[in-house]
Structure 1
Amino acid sequence: MTTVLARGRGSSAEETADNADRVWGGTRAFALLLVITGGAGLLAAWVITLDKFKLLEDPDFTPGCSLNPVVSCGNIMKSDQASVFGFPNPMLGLVTYAVVTGIGAGLLAGARYRRWFWLGLNAGTLFGVGFCTWLQYQSLYNINSLCLWCSLAWVATIVMFCYVTVHNVEHRILPAPAGLRGVLSEFHWVPPVLWTGVIGMLILTRWWDFWTS
């Protein structure tokens, strides 16, 4: 998946000199990916937030995604990790995933963004994927439950982070050797697939006895 520079490319020296003044857009596929992943994360955050409010109103409320002792959104929502910043985590997702969806929609409409904007988006998705990784560990090994909506948000964030990084590396917004740019351009699908596969294997092995019983 590649993106398009709003200006033609010059020499490396010229690119370095005026990089701050350049603006970058994206292909339709990249823009749609941001809209889809942002929308998926937004949907997950919205459903979890609604269920959290219902749980606050009625401590005996059972969310629809609580299917068994392992796949239990209720256990996740009642944990301390579900409000690590002092408010329910999905409320943060309502804001951040909406922003990403808006950026993708802007790209579809022809928007172009400067280097600082793309670096900020990369930093935001890096924070998001780091936070999701921490939540994954907490879910698997401390809370001992799995939330399907949370899992959707995890996958969306991973894909989002990977492709924003690929975009920035391809167009020298993030410095990288030419060989790495070529590999990422050709095999851009490998990091998110492997990453998601590892998480799937961890979930499978963590509750292997439950799944096979």
Structure 2
Amino acid sequence: MTQTLAGQAGTHHDAGPALTDRIVGWTLTIGGLIGALAAFVLTVEKIALLKDPAYTPTCSISPILSCGSIMTTGQAEVFGFPNPLIGLATFPVVAATGAAVLAGGRLPRWWWLALQAGTVFGVGFVHWLFFQSLYRIGALCPYCMVVWVAMIVLFTYTTLYNLDRGHLPAPRRLTDTLLRVHSAIPTTWLLILTALVGVRFWDYWRTLL
């Protein structure tokens, strides 16, 4: 019976661990919704700032945690329009994909590869923004950091899912090893970024102690 179900699903190697559709579906759904909400709030704040240059965004709470000082930089409009608009256009697609998976839908390989390409771009873009925030602007946007976290988790689980389902080529042994520690991957990743933030702004954090 188990072999029959596995054969019908056709989604993973029988001998190795796998991410269930339920795990990936919920991850994409929740991550997409959180990312979309953060992008929406950032867009609203940007519009308010455009209407009134003296407006103080709700996420500007200290000299370091300050959305306002970031929204007025060139890095906030890399492609000629506010960066959050990218999130407004893409995160709902991610959430919808997760909902489809939870509903039992079988999406084609090209869809997963397109999602993979999108998350690769997204995770690369947020790391560029991370670098710009820390070492060029010298400030952090709390809502942006929510997007960073969501993007890292979405990239991790999209990649692992595609590896497990054979959409991306990789040695099975490597894939199984990564699947066994799937939750440790984004956790370690985020801890490293947190440490970089702590080191970069240590002088400021120290004044708060």
TM-score by length of 2: 0.90
The aligned counterpart of 2:70 is 76
Query: How far does residue 193 in structure 1 lie from its aligned partner after superposition?
Result: 0.9
The aligned counterpart of 2:80 is 86
Query: How far does residue 148 in structure 1 lie from its aligned partner after superposition?
Result: 0.5
The aligned counterpart of 1:56 is 50
Conserved? CA contact 2:12–2:166, under 8 Å: no
* Larger relative contact order, structure 1 or 2 (CA cutoff 8 Å, min sep 6): 2
**1:113 partner SS:** coil
The aligned counterpart of 1:157 is 151
C-alpha deviations, 1:44-87, integer Å up to 9, x for none?
10000000000000000001110111000001111110000000
The whole-number CA distance in structure 1 between the counterparts of 2:160 and 2:39 is: 26
Q: 1:8 to 1:158 in 2, by over 3 A?
A: closer
| Structure 1 residues not aligned, in runs of 5+ | 12-24
Q: Match for 2:111 among 81, 100, 117? A: 117
C-alpha deviations, 1:6-48, integer Å up to 9, x for none?
544799xxxxxxxxxxxxx962221011011111111110000
Number of aligned pairs?
Answer: 197
Percent of residue pairs bearing the same amino acid type: 47
The whole-number CA distance in structure 2 between the counterparts of 1:154 and 1:177 is: 29
The whole-number CA distance in structure 2 between the counterparts of 1:37 and 1:121 is: 14
The whole-number CA distance in structure 2 between the counterparts of 1:8 and 1:72 is: 48
The whole-number CA distance in structure 2 between the counterparts of 1:9 and 1:59 is: 52
Query: How far does residue 172 in structure 1 lie from its aligned partner after superposition?
Result: 1.4
The whole-number CA distance in structure 1 between the counterparts of 2:29 and 2:111 is: 17
The aligned counterpart of 1:177 is 171
The whole-number CA distance in structure 2 between the counterparts of 1:200 and 1:105 is: 30
Conserved? CA contact 2:43–2:85, under 8 Å: yes
Q: 1:44 to 1:212 in 2, by over 3 A?
A: same
Cα RMSD between the aligned structures? 1.8
The whole-number CA distance in structure 1 between the counterparts of 2:165 and 2:101 is: 16
Which stretches of structure 1, 4 residues or longer, exceed 3 Å deviation after superposition?
A: 4-11
The whole-number CA distance in structure 2 between the counterparts of 1:211 and 1:197 is: 17
TM-score by length of 1: 0.88
Q: 1:8 to 1:137 in 2, by over 3 A?
A: closer
Conserved? CA contact 2:11–2:165, under 8 Å: no
